[in-house]
A and B are shown apart, each in its own frame.
Chain A
Amino acid sequence: MNVLVFADCQDGKILKSGIEAVSYASRVVEQFGGTLVTATYGTEDSSELEKLGEVGAETLFVSKTNQGTPWSLTEYLSALVRERNIELVVLSNDFTGKAILGLLGSKLDAGAVNNAVDFPKNENGFTVKSQMFSGKAFGEVRITSSIKIIALLPNAVGTVSNPKSLSIKYFEGDFNSRIKIVEEKKLETGGTVPLPEAELVVSGGRGLKGPENWGIVEDLASTLGATTACSRPVSDLDWRPHHEHVGQTGLAIRPNLYIAIGISGAIQHLAGVNGSKTIVVVNNDPEAPFFKAADYGVVADAFEFIPKFTEALKAHKANNA
């Protein structure tokens, strides 16, 4: 099966989710046979492009002038699908992947499955496991169209090294965006990993009582090298910015470690975080529902425990440096 995989790029850097998608696609080609075509845009920096060669890309298309809008990327990828007889398109289920998945599906008359968490199977037709119900369940979805699309959930399968020598082809010409980008705004993340890509996350809830108390969350996060998140009421109250809100109506994340401080663990909150590999809950109410979803729990006042925990972590880091 000939596979096209798209790796998104921002500010000249290939996103981690894109590298993961390429690793996934190269393993699909190993399993099903066929050739792999990789596509990106927005960088000609060979050290960035090499990152894709490290995980299995060989034929790499780089669109030089693409604006990276949903339509212009859709037309770019559709052109490659036709030119290269592609049967499966792999995207990452990140912001860009979600924006183009449906456009591409309608343009190619393709069945699309997003939130994929595993490799496709070929037992009952072509099927792939997808996370649904905002993380509360999974579905095994069969795709029956001749061209198929999978969008891979970030941090679901990881990357494996599979170095190949890259053959880079520049793709000339721009595609119509149909929209005009007037301005781009960057989030102030102070250099930390953006939440959708973060492996370590420290999250605060209403139990922290007010924005002035977020120092203990930030200290812990910076000691760990983690990204901060919050529950919905916290962002609704403007204690924290909206982009930190995780849960059913916020971001769904699946970091390796999620530390929840002063969050009760409502089902809508859990929906966005229960894909995390390890969950630590700090709450002064032993009855808080979050403890049922946790791997490790600390029944304590966050204001007492978190500073002690952060100090102990600093000592641990110093010893293991």
Chain B
Amino acid sequence: MKYFRETLYDSICQNFRIDKLYYENRADQQHLVIFHNARLGRVMALDGVVQTTEADEFIYHEMLAHVPLFAHGHARRVLIIGGGDGGMLREVLRHPVEQVTQVEIDRAVVDMALEYLPNHSAGAYEDPRLQLVIADGMDFVRKAGDHFDVIITDSTDPIGPGEVLFSEDYYAAAKRCLTAGGILVAQNGVPFMQPDELQHTACRMHAHFTDTAFYCAPVPTYYGGFMAFAWGSDNRELRATPQATLQARFDKSGLNTRYYNPAIHQASFALPQYMLDSLAGTD
């Protein structure tokens, strides 16, 4: 294989040159590939769809981790569902949280990422604050006795193994695992190409959170412009956290970021009109 051709859409596709193939596996009806591309660094693709690349993963991980954590301001316990590549864990652990529980369905994903995508976790799996659970994310939130201040769903797309993490049952069960005023965030696809996904999530989350919203950021290798992130909380004020408050928290954290900053944080909740039109009538 000299090129990786993405197979998401019938009439459009992205083609990536494979400069070195590190890993390819086709067990369990899943096709996982990790390769090096000259421009993007290491690229991981599952079932013909790019999941993450070293060059632009920071946009995705910073926005899905720092937006809820800085908005919350004093999250002690965080739950990550999925995220086996370790990038989300790395960003969450940069905050002074007490404990992070990560639920990954397949230990092999973590091992594979440690071996072939070591820059994603950057040592995060060694952190004593981590509790790694190998389990089905849906099962975990259904049975969990613990509560979390922030839950981050770092899943694959709804067509594929992540399907159940886009169901109303999941949002309901995850809500039950949140502390009062806690926040659930979740990756929600590229609305320009998948407008239905935005509508479905809005309807399904709306039943369980008093405040349901989306924010977005453009991740270059997710073709189609802005990626949307779903936001759900029963504390409406968190989404309206003043920029000065965010700035104070950000300054205090001492974090160096490459995409996130408090101005981007606030601006990211402003949605383009085509997304607002898709969402019209869903609340």
Partners in one complex: no
